[in-house]
Amino acid sequence: MTANQQNLDNLGDWSLEELLSALQRRLERILFRYQIPPEDSEDVLQEAVLTLIYKRSKIRDPEAWLVATLRNRCLMYWRSKRSRLYDSVDTSILELVAKPGGTPQERQEIQADLERAISELPDRCRSLLRLRYGLGYKPAEVAERMGYQASSIRKITSRCLAALTRQLTVSGFCKESSDET
């Protein structure tokens, strides 16, 4: 091991190996509590450890810092999963509506289901979704028309898509359309 690698492994009085060994059970419990799948848990932990190594000179208590960072990484993991779900639902809905195939009756039924689900959403979401996806406005244009900051429109759109996803799930739309494909 080179001197540089040894410096990288040392975190105050702890070596990285000693720190991980001392915290192993606690870190495993955190991953279990946040229900991180086993195939992803190592990646989530590695991200936290790499951040620890990168910021080691600024960290006073590596043990507490690593525990808190792992919790935050677990939350970020699930936020990312939810975001990908909403994006895939968004893409699926757009593909279903735009799909040239299918009978006119099927397209009308899909359109009616979407309209029904959208009508159950709060006014803000209805307006945003109609501007963004019904009329094809770009996010900055939607923000301007609705009086929002351009920087916040993505988060608001995600929340509205999440509400639409929940509404479609309640009505059985997502299950039926996933069975057909």
Residue 97 reports pLDDT greater than 90: no
Please report the domains of the chain, with CATH numbers, ordered by start residue: 3-81 (1.10.1740), 99-180 (1.10.10.10)
Q: In the structure encoding, which two tokens stand for residue 148, read together? A: 């929002």
Tell me the whole-structure pTM to 2 decimals.
0.47
Question: What's residue 12's pLDDT?
Answer: 56
pLDDT, position 178: 41
Alpha-carbon gap, residue 126 to 159, rounded angstroms: 12
* Residues 42-77: tens digit of each pLDDT: 999 999 999 999 898 888 899 999 999 999 999 888
Residues forming a β-bridge with 14: 11
The full 3-state SS of 76-130, as one line of letters, equals HHHHHHHHHHHHHHHHHHHHHHHCCCCCHHHHHHHHHHHHHHHHCCCHHHHHHHH
